[in-house]
Amino acid sequence: MERKNAWLNYDEKQLEAVEATAAAYRAFLDHGKTERECVREAVAMVREAGYKSLREAIRQGEPLKPGDKLYDTQMQKALLLFHIGETPLEEGMNILGAHIDSPRIDIKQNPLYENTDFAYADTHYYGGIKKYQWVARPLALHGVVAKKDGTVLNVVIGEDENDPVVGISDLLIHLSQEQMTKKASEVITGEGLDIILAGKPLKGEEKDAVKAQLVKLLKEKYGIEEEDFLSAEIEAVPADKARDFGLDRSMILGYGHDDRVCAYAELQAMLSLPAVPKYTACCILTDKEEIGSVGATGMEAKFFENAVYELIALCGGNAALGVRRALANSRMLSCDVSAGFDPMFAEAFEKKNAAMLGRGVCYNKFTGSRGKSGSNDANAEFIGRVRACMDDAQVAWQTAELGRVDLGGGGTIAYICALYGMEVIDSGVAVLNMHAPQEIISKADLYEAIRAYTAFAVNMGPRSDEI
């Protein structure tokens, strides 16, 4: 059941749409390299499209009506969108859910130290990475510094062409005889991912003069005291811009496709809905998926459920029972990327059940690892209705698993949302180099993901559990 390459389906008008979509997405990637930046970009997009603050609606206490569009943020790291439909919320929502955190290098709370005329930042990597991929490459610093007086400084250093960049050093090949005999997981250790920040001493200082010069620069240029790192969130991310990849420009190379490509497709789908959809459409952009969906901004938290309580109340329903019915009756695409088949590493895949770049959005019935451990496993009836929805909309789509059965696997937010009793299946874009500083997707797959998520939000209807 080999699927046709999506590029073969496009006429000239569609090819233009693919390129326009890719250009807008590259800009989104470049301006959204952290979860906070993604939320800011997304809020700006939806406000322009007429979305209003859910919290403002709560304060005003005005009843919601079909066609109302609301957004809510959680600690500026997660975002919810709701487009109220004509059908009561208790009959369920059509939900699109993705995450906007990506693997990176985090700066520790007490980071600065000097060693042999270099000033370093001590770090802790975030998410699953091959540590050796993060050395000898330009890194930028993004994040926030929260000062004791309540002010918050936004930090972006290394993105402007006139900015300096920072990075992690590697051992020169001439002295690497011992290093090259180590396993890949040991070539660079977590403790070896400290970032070089400076190398010039402050005149007149006898001890840690390079660090002293750095502290002076941070205070004078950026208004940051050393103690301010105690209440800062600074992330080191690749300084590279997203670029067209391949001589035919059919792909995009960039940082953070996992999972911002699905997040962007969700946003575009929500902005493409009719004025009053039949069922309420919901978009979830969540944080912390790469470390288990934990914390107040991860999917394990209750911010989504709390927001649904508020919606039910504003719609005049019975909150306690209405929320349970709304969640249990919902349909969801857990929008997360899948491992793209790589012919150079074919032994890691089972080819006929692998996602191919360029063949459209992919559906993973289950994720997890080995014996489906930690997986949501979508029910057959739901998949049948998803198939019909995609085919009716002429979406290019495929099915996939994440690698060979005994080799590995991965997880998404699907299993968490399935706990409410809703129907959930993973759906996303195939990615090469997943979790590397630079990942690769097909422009066609991004375009088809937007079409797929739009079709699902508009047309997917409820299930029947009758026997």
Residue 423 and residue 409 in one domain: yes
Is 388 part of a structural domain of the chain? Answer: yes
Residue 231 and residue 355 in one domain: no
Residue 400 and residue 420 in one domain: yes
Length of the chain: 467
**How far is it, in rounded angstroms, from Cα 449 to Cα 365?**
17
User: Which residue has 């759906």 as its token pair?
Assistant: 427
Give the count of beta carbons closer than 10 Å to the beta carbon of residue 10: 15
CB burial readout 92-124, b (16+ within 10 A) else e = bbbbbbbbbbbbbbbbeeebbebeeebbbbbbe
**How far is it, in rounded angstroms, from Cα 334 to Cα 308?**
18
DSSP result, 139-179: EEEEEEEE-TTS-EEEEEES-STTS--BB-----GGG-TTG
Q: Which of 174, 207, 238 is the last residue of a domain?
A: 238
Domain span at residue 82 reads 6-102+255-459
**How far is it, in rounded angstroms, from Cα 337 to Cα 261?**
8
Report the half-sphere exposure of 217 (CA within 13 A, side-chain side).
Answer: 14
Report pLDDT for 466: 62
Is 247 part of a structural domain of the chain? Answer: no
Residue 267 and residue 416 in one domain: yes
Residue 442 tokens read as: 């097909």
Is 246 part of a structural domain of the chain? Answer: no
Please list the alpha-helical segments (H only) found in 180-331. 184-187, 209-217, 257-270, 303-314, 319-328
Is 233 part of a structural domain of the chain? Answer: yes
- Nearest C-alpha neighbor of 260 from the set 76, 94, 369, 98: 98
Domain count, the chain: 2
Residue 141 and residue 54 in one domain: no
- Strands of 45-103 (E only): list them: 52-53, 69-74, 78-83, 94-99
Residue 226 and residue 342 in one domain: no
Report pLDDT for 16: 98
Residue 312 and residue 437 in one domain: yes
Report the half-sphere exposure of 63 (CA within 13 A, side-chain side).
Answer: 5
Q: Any residues with CB less than 8 A from the CB of 134 and at least 6 apart, and which? A: 105, 125, 168, 188, 193, 437
We report the CATH number of the domain holding residue 98 as 3.40.630.10
Residue 110 and residue 155 in one domain: yes
User: Which residue has 């997405």 as its token pair?
Assistant: 25
Residue 192 per-residue DSSP state: G
Per-residue pLDDT of the chain (467 residues; tens, 9 = 90+): 788 999 999 999 999 999 999 999 999 999 999 999 999 999 999 999 999 999 999 999 989 999 999 999 999 999 999 999 999 999 999 999 999 999 999 999 999 999 999 999 999 999 999 999 999 999 999 999 999 999 999 999 999 999 999 999 999 999 999 999 999 999 999 999 999 999 999 999 889 999 999 999 999 999 999 999 999 999 999 999 999 999 999 999 999 999 999 999 999 999 999 999 999 999 999 999 999 999 999 999 999 999 999 999 998 877 789 999 999 999 999 999 999 999 999 999 999 999 999 999 999 988 877 777 777 888 999 999 999 999 999 999 999 988 888 777 778 999 999 999 999 999 999 999 999 999 999 999 999 999 999 999 999 999 876 66
Q: Any residues with CB less than 8 A from the CB of 248 and at least 6 apart, and which? A: none
Q: Any residues with CB less than 8 A from the CB of 448 and at least 6 apart, and which? A: 6, 360, 361, 395, 396, 397
Is 412 part of a structural domain of the chain? Answer: yes
Residue 224 and residue 135 in one domain: yes
- Nearest C-alpha neighbor of 96 from the set 458, 463, 466: 458
Is 151 part of a structural domain of the chain? Answer: yes
Is 337 part of a structural domain of the chain? Answer: yes
We report the CATH number of the domain holding residue 185 as 2.30.250.10
Residue 83 and residue 226 in one domain: no
Residue 75 and residue 129 in one domain: no
User: Which residue has 């375009």 as its token pair?
Assistant: 447
Residue 263 and residue 403 in one domain: yes
Q: Which of 238, 272, 300 is the last residue of a domain?
A: 238
**How far is it, in rounded angstroms, from Cα 399 to Cα 326?**
28
Is 464 part of a structural domain of the chain? Answer: no
